[in-house]
């Protein structure tokens, strides 16, 4: 079974995170919500309390197929300053495992720390200034190699479907689209 680590932090944009998590779980993908804080509970960018399954400091990410980073502020900044997450992303990149990010996170986390060098990615407009060595596209969702990025909240469902396609194939992606009455 495919496994995704969905990262959350105080200030995470909750719908960007939970829409992707919902799509993945509907498709039979195991998803572990991981807080980068000291506790499992975070308060989202719109003051919603979310209980994670684990905390980053106690998580071994090596069995994950994807590490997913939702956006939001200051959530993306909090993700960007988490050493355990940055170490896990570095190891995932070295191993060729998939990394996904949406909204501010492609720039604030991936771009700022060099994960987008030589890649084409998207993000919420304005955060592309952080793409050190990466090329910005205004596409809603794009996969370049093992990195998948999405522009913002309006593309969260599309990102979830793209991750299902990458992890489980076209048939599974079409199946979940039917289940959620997607266009």
Query: Are the C-beta atoms of 69 and 105 separated by less than 8 Å?
Result: yes
DSSP letters for the chain = --EEEEEE-TT--HHHHHHHHHHHHHTT-EEEEEESSSSSEEE-TTS-EEE-SEEGGG--GGG-SEEEE---TTHHHHHHT-HHHHHHHHHHHHHT-EEEEETTHIIIIIITTTTTTT-EE--STTGGGG-TT-EE---SEEEETTEEEE-SGGGHHHHHHHHHHHHH-HHHHHHHHHHTT--
Task: Give the three-state DSSP class for 128.
Answer: helix
Task: Give the three-state DSSP class for 29.
Answer: coil
pLDDT at 4 over 90: yes
Query: The tokens 């499992």 sit on which residue?
Result: 40
pLDDT at 183 over 90: no
pLDDT 10s digits, 23-80:
999 999 999 999 999 999 999 999 999 999 999 999 999 999 999 999 999 999 999 9
CATH code linked to domain 3-179: 3.40.50.880
pLDDT 10s digits, 152-181:
999 999 999 999 999 999 999 999 999 999
Q: Where are the domains of the chain?
A: 3-179
pLDDT at 104: 98
């Amino acid at each position: 079974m495919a496994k995704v680590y969905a990262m959350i932090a105080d200030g995470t944009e909750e719908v960007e995170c939970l829409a992707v998590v919902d799509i993945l779980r509907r498709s039979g993908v195991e998803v572990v919500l991981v807080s980068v804080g000291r506790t499992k509970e975070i308060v989202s960018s719109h003051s919603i309390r979310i209980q994670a399954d684990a905390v980053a400091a106690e998580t071994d990410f090596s069995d994950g197929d994807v590490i997913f980073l939702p956006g939001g502020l200051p959530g993306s900044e909090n993700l960007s300053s988490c050493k355990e997450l940055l170490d896990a992303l570095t190891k995932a990149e070295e191993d060729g495992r998939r990394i996904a990010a949406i909204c501010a996170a492609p720039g604030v986390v991936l771009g700022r720390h060099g994960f987008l060098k030589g890649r084409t990615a998207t993000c919420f407009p304005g955060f592309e200034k952080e793409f050190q060595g990466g090329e910005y596209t205004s596409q809603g969702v794009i996969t370049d190699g093992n990195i998948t990025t999405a522009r913002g909240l309006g593309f969260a469902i599309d990102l979830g479907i793209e991750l299902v396609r990458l992890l489980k194939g076209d048939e599974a992606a079409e199946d979940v689209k039917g289940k959620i009455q997607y266009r």
